[in-house]
Amino acid sequence: MFTPLVIINRTLTTAARCKRRVVVTGMGIVCPLGIGVQNAWQALINSKSGITKLTNPEYDKLPCKVATEEALNDANWKPNNETDKRDTGVAVGIGMIDLIDVCTTYEALKKGYNKVSPYFVPRILTNMAAGQISIKYGLRGPNHSVSTACATGAHAIGDAFRFIRGGETSVMICGGAEACISPLAIAAFCRLRALSTNKNDFPYEASRPFDKDRDGFVMGEGAAILVLEELNHALERKANIYAEVLGYGLSGDATHLTAPSEDGTGAILAMDRAVKDAGIETVEITFINAHATSTPLGDGIELKAIESFMGQHSKNVTVSSTKGAHGHLLGAAGNLEAVFTILAIKESVIPPTLNLHNLDTETSLNFAPNIKKNWNTTSRRVALKNAFGFGGTNACLCFAQYNE
């Protein structure tokens, strides 16, 4: 007999609110798999890995502005008149500030007050990516920034979704960026025993979500930006629609600084709230893009949480983690993987989980180990995207195939 981890009332009860429909009309990517949405997507579904060995202490930064420009071009939305600029907002976050910049500036201070750059404070503020985008394109809608560790990108998308649905604006540029790789950051995460160290000579094998030989995550850098738009606004200008955003759920583990709740309560609550917010039943969901970072503890707990939430429907659900191909982008993870989830919906293809050879959890859930899988369903394609962060912060997004 199947016993759920947490008992949840499945009655679809949501707060009364404006329910304007929200769709995705543009996307942009800079990530380990490539620059540009199609380059990264084709590499992913063809089972390519973007993970390489670090050999130099100086690493190129991957600017958010590249992904933003692609997303706006993709959406064909660069407003020129004041009304449209006021009706377009930004919600972009980062997970971590540049640690090397802080250390370097402190050393400069020892040489004299005037050695400290007047731009130091703006450089380390987490809202400056959103601010720079707003300034560059003259966007005067909501200017919002999220910093919730590895859930940052998903929270940014969810908040943007709510701004549009609630009637505050018609268009939002949203997502996250991360340029976190430095010797100090690597050392700090190693001290947390969070990073993979067993495959240093075989980096493409190091990130292995759900596999029994996983030993930690691989850090990645990049940015992914989405353009969300109110449906009628998109239809009026004949915009290309990738998918619809149906729901958004948040929760807190209230358990530990770095470890997820052992019973998966936080993940279950986030998924449940996203599904209720979407106004759908769990049986409509057939794909879940997991947070699964390749850590021994987290991956197993997430799978148990998913199976507990899905119940008897688990046998009809496929779970995948694309982090096997691109590593963990921290604050830019949820948004990058949201783009891949949306493309999976658009193209009826479930991306693979690389390096998954031996599943160490007994489950009735389905997987796509090492190669892509056709997404076959008799109804519209509906997916969840999970994202969890240190401090016990959780987010879940619900995306669906757009139907008129």
Report the relative pairing of strands 171-178 and 222-230 from DSSP bridges. antiparallel
Task: Report how far residue 89's alpha carbon sits from residue 387's, in angstroms, rounded to the nearest whole number.
Answer: 23
Give me the amino acid identity at 207. Answer: S
Out of 155, 233, 326, 328, pick the active-site residue.
Answer: 328
**CA–CA distance from 348 to each of 8, 207, 219, 343 (Å)?**
31, 25, 29, 8
User: End-to-end CA distance of the chain, in Å?
Assistant: 40
398 classed as catalytic = no
- In DSSP terms, 367 is beta-bridged to 319
User: What residues have CB less than 8 Å from 264, skipping those under 6 apart?
Assistant: 5, 6, 301, 302, 304, 305, 308
Residue indicated by tokens 């503020």: 125
328 classed as catalytic = yes
Out of 31, 64, 150, 396, pick the active-site residue.
Answer: 150
Task: Report how far residue 177's alpha carbon sits from residue 170's, in angstroms, rounded to the nearest whole number.
Answer: 23
Neighbours of 23 (CB within 10 A): 24
313 classed as catalytic = no
Residue 151's nearest CA partner among 117, 122, 175, 132 is: 175
- b or e along 77-96 (b: 16 or more beta carbons within 10 Å of the residue's beta carbon)? bebeeeebbebbbbbbbbbb
Task: Report how far residue 386's alpha carbon sits from residue 363's, in angstroms, rounded to the nearest whole number.
Answer: 18
Give me the amino acid identity at 85. Answer: K
Q: In this structure, what DSSP letter does residue 3 have?
A: -
Out of 64, 291, 396, 398, pick the active-site residue.
Answer: 291
Task: Report how far residue 253's alpha carbon sits from residue 277's, in angstroms, rounded to the nearest whole number.
Answer: 20
The two structure tokens encoding residue 264: 């998966």
Q: Please classify residue 378 by burial: count the beta carbons closer than 10 Å to its beta carbon, then call 0-12 exposed, 13-18 middle and 19+ buried.
A: exposed
- Catalytic residues, by residue number, are 150, 291, 328
